[in-house]
Each structure stands twice: as C-alpha cells, then as structure tokens.
Amino acid sequence: MNISFSWKKLTLWLVGIFLFCALAAGGAAAMLLYWASRDLPNITRIADYAPPQATTVLARDGSVLGLLYHEKRFVIGLKDMSRFLPMAFLAAEDDAFYRHMGVDPVAIVRAAINNFRKGRAGEGGSTITQQLIKQL
C-alpha cells in the first residue's frame, strides 16, 4: 500500500474548504441582511413624520377657547427647547446612542438573559432607532 502525503494537495483542500465556508458565511450574512431590512420604512416616511397634534380653538379676538386632542402634543424645534432636554432623553432611553449604529446587540442579549431568568418579558434591549422603526 503506497500512501503519499502531498502538502500541495492538503493546502488546496484547506484553501477550498476556507473559500467554501467564507462564501457560505457571506451568503448567510446577505440573506440575514435582506430578511432584516425587507420591511423597513422608507427614509422619506421618517423625514415627513407628522405626529397628531392638539387642535387649538380660537375666538374672534385670537384668545384660546380650548384644545381638542386625543394626545396633547405640540411640535417644537430643537432651538425652542432646552439644550439639556435631548441629552436627558438619551440618558433615560438609550445612553449608548452615539456608540452603536442603531442596534445594540449587547443590550439585546442582556435583556434576553434577564428576561429568561425572570421567566417573563420585563426588560427591553431596543434602541431609540429600533423603537422609531417599530412605530413607523
């Protein structure tokens, strides 16, 4: 029985296996990206978002008679609010907002582990970006 060992054949096999695994991983990543992004809202829908606001009823002289609303909202610009308000919102809702790209995998895993330990869903790991997309 003549068994010959060839480094060249072994190297070719290893390179082939590596390329196959790399292509399979790339294909899986592309399919995951497609699956995750297929129902995302259009960016113009985010830019043109107009939440329901309160309707102000005025008298002839311009005085306010009352407000009609389901949710009492008034849209104001960033220049009209305290500069600390956006920072307070981020501190309370998503303190890692500037450190992730819209999804925080560490927070999602942490929340999943804590919810599993508690036996119920009590903690969330979504970011402000994920919450906005869910609402839209």
Domain boundaries, the chain: 1-39, 42-75, 77-136
CA distance linking residue 73 with residue 53, whole number of Å = 5
Q: Where are the beta strands (DSSP E) in 1-136?
A: 55-58, 64-68
pLDDT in tens, 54-109: 888 999 999 999 988 888 888 888 899 999 998 999 998 888 889 888 888 888 89
The pTM score is 0.49
β-bridge mates for residue 68, sequence order: 55
Task: Provide the token pair at 99.
Answer: 């450190």
Q: How many whole angstroms separate alpha carbon 76 and alpha carbon 135?
A: 20
pLDDT in tens, 41-56: 777 776 777 778 888 8
